[in-house]
Amino acid sequence: MGCFPCAGNSDKRLDRDKTQTNNRNRRDDRAQSTAEKLKSGPHKCENPKAVDQSSAAKELDVRKEEVSENGGTEGFKARPFTFAQLVAATENFKSEYFLGEGGFGKVHRGKLVDTGQIVAIKQLDRNGMQGIREFVVEVVTLSLADHPNLVKLIGYCAEGEQRLLVYEFMPFGSLEDHLHGILGRRPNMRRLDWNTRMKIAAGAAKGLEYLHDKMKPPVIYRDLKCSNILLDEGFLPKLSDFGLAKVGPVGDKTHVSTRVMGTYGYCAPDYAMTGQLTFKSDIYSFGVVLLEIITGRKAIDETRSGTEQNLVAWARPLFKDRKKFPQMADPDLEGQYPMRGLYQALAIAAMCVQEHPNMRPLIADIVTALNYLASQTYDPLNPSPQTSRRAASSKKDCEEGPNASNGPRGIKPED
Taking the C-alpha atoms of residue 233 and residue 56, their distance in angstroms, rounded to an integer, is 34
Domain presence at residue 25: no
369 vs 184, more confident: 369
Residue 327 belongs to a domain: yes
What pLDDT does 391 receive? 39
Say if 293 falls within a structural domain: yes
- 247 beta partners: 219
For residues 275 and 292, membership in a common domain is answered with yes
Asked if residue 35 is part of any domain, the answer here is no
List pLDDT tens digits, range 400-409.
445 544 444 4
Structure confidence by residue, pLDDT tens digits, 345-402: 999 999 999 999 999 999 999 999 999 999 999 988 877 644 444 433 444 444 444 5
Pairing of strands 79-80, 153-157: parallel
Mean of per-residue pLDDT scores for the chain: 78
Please check the confidence at residue 121 and state whether its pLDDT lies above 50. yes
- The better pLDDT of the pair 49, 187 is held by 187
Domain encompassing residue 364: 173-375
Instruction: Identify the weakest region by mean pLDDT among 23-32, 116-125, 248-257.
Output: 23-32
Annotate 177-229 with DSSP letters as a single string. HHHHSSGGGSTTSPPP-HHHHHHHHHHHHHHHHIIIIISSS-EE-----GGGE
Secondary element (H or E) of residue 154:
strand 153-157
Shared domain check, 212 and 180: yes
pLDDT at 49 exceeding the cut of 90: no
User: Between 407 and 76, whose confidence is greater?
Assistant: 76
pLDDT band with cut points at 50, 70 and 90 for residue 19: low
Helices (H) and strands (E) in the chain, counts: 12, 12
Same domain, yes or no, for 131 and 180?
no
Give the tens place of pLDDT for each residue, 335-347.
999 999 999 999 9
pLDDT (0 to 100) of residue 22: 55
Residues designated as active site: 223
Residue 332 has pLDDT above 70, yes or no: yes
User: From its phi and psi, is residue 220 left (phi > 0), alpha (psi between -120 and 50) or beta?
Assistant: beta
Residue finishing a domain among 117, 141, 168:
168
The annotation places the binding site for ATP at: 122
Q: Domain boundary at 168, 199, 217, which?
A: 168
CATH number at residue 96: 3.30.200.20
Highest mean pLDDT among 85-94, 319-328, 388-397: 85-94
Who wins on pLDDT, 359 or 30? 359
Asked if residue 180 and residue 83 are part of one domain, the reply reads no
Task: Please indicate, yes or no, whether residues 311 and 348 belong to a single structural domain of this protein.
Answer: yes
* 306 or 102, higher pLDDT: 306
Question: 323-326: long-range contacts at Cβ-Cβ below 8 A with a sequence spacing of 24 or more?
Answer: 325/398, 325/401, 325/402, 326/389
Q: Which residues of 160-189 are buried (b: 16+ CB within 10 A; e: fewer)?
A: bbbbbbbbbbbebbbbbbbbbbebbeeeee
Residues 329 and 370 in one domain: yes
At residue 68 the predicted structure's pLDDT band, cuts being 50, 70 and 90, is very low
At 63, is the secondary structure helix, strand, or coil? helix
Q: Are residues 163 and 177 located together in one domain of the fold?
A: no
CATH number of the domain that residue 267 is part of: 1.10.510.10
Q: Which pLDDT belongs to residue 377?
A: 92
Instruction: Examine the domain organization and report whether 204 and 316 are in the same domain.
Output: yes
- Of 128, 153, 168, the last residue of a domain is 168
For residues 237 and 12, the model is more confident at 237
Q: Do residue 145 and residue 179 come from a single domain?
A: no
Is residue 28 predicted with pLDDT exceeding 70? no
- What is the Cα–Cα distance from 240 to 106, expressed in whole angstroms? 15
Strands 219-220 and 256-257: unpaired
Q: Are 214 and 206 in contact (CB under 8 A)?
A: no
Asked whether residue 86 falls in the same domain as residue 235, the answer is no
Mean pLDDT is lowest, of 27-41, 270-284, 301-315, 317-331, for: 27-41
Q: What is the pLDDT of residue 140?
A: 85
Residue 21 has pLDDT above 70, yes or no: no
Per-residue model confidence (pLDDT) at position 80: 92
Domain count, the chain: 2
